[in-house]
Amino acid sequence: MDRYRYGLRKTVYACEDVVTLDQARRNCSVDEDDHDETLADLIHQARDYVEERTNCSLTTTTWEMAIDAFPRAKWLSLPRWPLQSVESIAYTAADGSEATIAADQLAVRIDEHGRGRVALKKWAEWPATESTPDAVRITFKAGWTEPLAVPRQWTRAILMLISWWFEQREAAVLGSATTVPLGVDALIDSASTADDFEDFDLCE
């Protein structure tokens, strides 16, 4: 990661999926539970495919974003949407000590699509950090709070992916993210209303 990039990892995974095992069974015309393990894997893989293509979290997930310094701009954009909350901002101060910005010092703005960004209240300057990798760590939650709030196009795309991969499992393409049924990507993109997250210029 260079000074214009960010690192991102999940720290708390979503506890529920957009579609249920029963929905996947019905969609694949499966009556028994013989294929439940396979279908459960495909549910997760289809969800991951949609999330990677859209840079979103479908249901509540906690992320940690790491950058080498605070941005030049007073706003810091967050790369997963829809944003729910900013949990904390920890950083390595210029003197090498570890510090945290209190929640009551933060201003969070979420646009109509769920894209979020954070700044210090009263347009205060970001604090100076030590010159070290991942000097700033932002923990935030993103995702819709219930599966029914997820765009229907994406739910349909997930079911289509599950059905396609289930039918093709004997051809050794189980869960392949490069082999998708015709129209799935267009269906996903039709509900991707937010702009792509852009890199930002960091402080010297």
Q: What is the pLDDT of residues 34-66, one digit of tens each?
A: 899 999 999 999 999 999 999 999 999 999 999
- Residue 194: pLDDT band with limits 50, 70, 90: low
Structural fold of domain 7-60+145-169+178-192: Hypothetical protein yqbg (1.10.3230)
Q: Where are the domains of the chain?
A: 7-60+145-169+178-192, 62-142
State the angle between helix axes of 36-54 and 152-167 in degrees (0 to 180), rounded to the nearest 10: 130
pLDDT tops 80 at residue 174: no
pLDDT in tens, 5-30: 789 999 998 878 899 999 999 999 99
User: What is the separation of C-alpha 157 from the centre of its chain, rounded to a whole number of angstroms?
Assistant: 17
State residue 168's pLDDT score.
81
Whole-Å CA distances, 54 to 133, 171, 188, 201: 27, 28, 8, 23
pLDDT tops 50 at residue 173: no
Best CA proximity match to 53, nearest among 204, 198, 194, 200: 194
Distance of alpha carbon 198 from alpha carbon 77, whole angstroms: 8
Check residue 196 and report its DSSP letter: P
Higher pLDDT, 27 or 197: 27
> Both tokens of residue 101?
């910005």
- Are the C-beta atoms of residues 113 and 107 closer than 8 Å to each other? no
Strand residues in 96-162 grouped as ranges (E):
98-101, 106-110, 116-120, 136-142
Q: Which long-range contacts (CB under 8 A, 24 or more apart) does 170-176 make?
A: 174/38, 174/41, 174/42, 175/41, 175/42, 175/45
pTM of the model: 0.85
Best CA proximity match to 108, nearest among 117, 99, 95, 97: 117
At residue 197, the 3 state secondary structure works out as coil
* DSSP assignment of 173-194: -TT-TT---TTHHHHHHTT--S
> Which secondary-structure segment (H or E) carries 155?
helix 152-167
pLDDT tops 90 at residue 158: yes
Residue 73, judged by CB atoms within 10 A of its CB (0-12, 13-18, 19+), counts as: middle
